Amino acid sequence: MTKRKKAVKTDASTELKPPSKNDAIEWGQYLDLKANQLAPATSQVIEQFGLKFYLWSKENKSALRMHEFCAMNGISRNTLMRWRDKNERFREYYEEGLLNLADRREVGAINRVYDSSIITKSMAFYDPEWKEAEEWRAKISDGGGDTGTKIVVIEKFEESK
């Protein structure tokens, strides 16, 4: 009796596939920093990068910054921002991925794994609720946004003898 090895399943959805001939290049090209050459940026490629970012942010327990993903995959942050602004599906993956990073950073700061003063300063970049809270704090520290002329009345007190 011989033992058969079980086939190892790979998650093909996270592997970047080259565009097919039928996949029209809608987005032009992007610079693949690893290969140091231009690569086609089709909807399929862009959405696969989005899924890959989301899965990386969810499964990689040491992932803290988006730039780590960019460096690992040879793509610039500017390219990701351009894709985020133009592709709805990529934007969904991207925003959920950022929330994964935000959750990990916040819990790490609460548990004193990371320095909370450093984490707190950049949380608004990762979590829209933190951004909203920062804007609110800025508004109230600014006097509620009232930038008009303020009149201060100082009463004169009698001198005591």
Q: Who has greater pLDDT, 146 or 156?
A: 156
Q: Within a domain: residue 150?
A: no
Q: Are 42 and 23 in contact (CB under 8 A)?
A: yes
pTM: 0.69
Length of the chain: 161
Q: Within a domain: residue 3?
A: no
**Residue 36 to residue 14: CA distance in whole angstroms:** 22
Backbone angles phi, psi at 66, to 5 degrees: -60, -35
Q: Within a domain: residue 11?
A: no
**Residue 142 to residue 110: CA distance in whole angstroms:** 28
**Radius of gyration of the chain measured on its C-alpha atoms:** 25
Number of domains, the chain? 1
Q: Who has greater pLDDT, 6 or 45?
A: 45
Q: Which of 46-50, 69-73, 128-132 has the lowest mean pLDDT?
A: 128-132
